[in-house]
Structure 1
Amino acid sequence: MVDVRLPAPNGWDAVYHKLRRRGAFDFPVLGVAAWVQWNGKNVAAARIVLGGVASYPQEVPEAGAALQGAPLSDESIAAAAEAAYRPSKPMDNTDFDLSWRKQMTRVYVKRALDELRARH
């Protein structure tokens, strides 16, 4: 099995992207979960949660707020990625460079939101 797709309840859709050394199994050195509730073409509500940047998953409310009230656009996605980047503080638990891992926060938030936009 490669993936499982379930219908989104009440207009919600979600995606999870994981940065890791090996493809098959490995703990994430960065995880990004993104949820969007659609109201037509607009984002009614959104949540962005980061993993691997603290000792527990952390929601970034500012990133979700950057997406609400309008369609997902390049500008709103960039604003959410920047909002998620600011509090990202990767733990020193792998041989990946900490600065690079922090930079990947922007990249992975953008990828997750681009995927949600493409599916809608």
Structure 2
Amino acid sequence: NFGKHLPCWKEGGRKACKNDPTFAKMEADKQNLVPAIGEINGDRSNFRYAEAPTNLKYTQYGNCKVYTDFKAKRFYPANYSKGWIARSYLYMSKTYNIRLSDQERKLMEAWDKQYPMDEKEKRIRALL
């Protein structure tokens, strides 16, 4: 999602950015690398993160409390992931001068506050 701001992206996406040093640095940045289930990661694609409707039934991925809204092109992450996602987005935005939309920035800032770092995340991020 972050590569779309680079000039090479406009000339063919990920393949066109293959040899771009900034893209390579962003793609390999450990703050941006998160283990993910392949099917969910593929379905999420480049959909924007959003708050899920309160009546949403999380049935797409078994016991995983995430939901991909293909029609609205939105992805609703599990509550336990929102803080990590927010801090990663805010870090990438600041580090690589990536402009987030006002709506996206507000959501990430809200999640960062609402879901603060726990001890496990602090230990993991310290190792990165």
For normalisation by structure 2, the TM-score amounts to 0.25
Which one has a larger percent strand, Structure 1 or Structure 2? Answer: 1
Give the greater-gyration-radius structure (CA). Answer: 2
For normalisation by structure 1, the TM-score amounts to 0.26
Which one has a larger percent helix, Structure 1 or Structure 2? Answer: 2
